[in-house]
Structure 1
Amino acid sequence: MNRKLKQMLVVAALGASLLAGQAQAQAPVGQGPGYHDPRSPIKPLQEREGIVSWQLLSSVTTKAEKNKLIPEFPKPLQALNNQTVKIQGFMLPLEPGDKQRHFLLSSVPTSCSFCVPAGPEGLVEVKTRNPVKYTLEPVVVEGRMAVLNADPYGMFYRVTDAQATE
Structure 2
Amino acid sequence: MKKWVLAGVFIMAAIAGAVIYQVVGSRGAASLNGVEVDWRLLGEMDYITGSSSSELKALNGQAVKIPGFMVPLEDNQRDVVEFLLVPSPQACIHVPPPPPNQMVYVKMRKGTEVAVGPIWVHGTLNLVTKKSMYGDASFELVGEVVEPYK
Structure-1-length-normalised TM-score: 0.58
Which of 44, 65, 71 matches 1:92? 71
Q: Which secondary structure does the structure 2 equivalent of 1:72 belong to?
A: coil
Q: Is the aligned partner of 1:74 residue 2:74?
A: no
Cα 1:113/1:119, change in 2 over 3 Å: closer
Alignment of structure 1 residues 1-166 onto 2, 5 Å? 50-62=35-47, 69-98=48-77, 99-110=79-90, 114-115=94-95, 118-148=98-128, 151=129, 153=131, 154-166=136-148
**Which structure is higher in helix share?**
2
User: Identity of aligned pairs, percent?
Assistant: 29
Contact 1:108–1:117 (8 Å) recurs in 2:
no
Cα 1:146/1:152, change in 2 over 3 Å: closer
Contact 2:81–2:110 (8 Å) recurs in 1:
yes
Encode CA deviations 1:10-35: one digit per residue, 9 max, x unaligned. xxxxxxxxxxxxxxxxxxxxxxxxxx
Runs (4 or more) in structure 1 with deviation over 6 Å come to: none
Give the gaps of 5 or more residues in structure 1: 1-48, 63-68
Q: Which secondary structure does the structure 2 equivalent of 1:61 belong to?
A: coil
Contact 1:61–1:71 (8 Å) recurs in 2:
yes
Give the gaps of 5 or more residues in structure 2: 1-33
Contact 2:35–2:63 (8 Å) recurs in 1:
no
Encode CA deviations 1:3-59: one digit per residue, 9 max, x unaligned. xxxxxxxxxxxxxxxxxxxxxxxxxxxxxxxxxxxxxxxxxxxxxx95201010001
Superposition RMSD in Å: 2.4
Find the structure with the greater CA-based Rg: 2
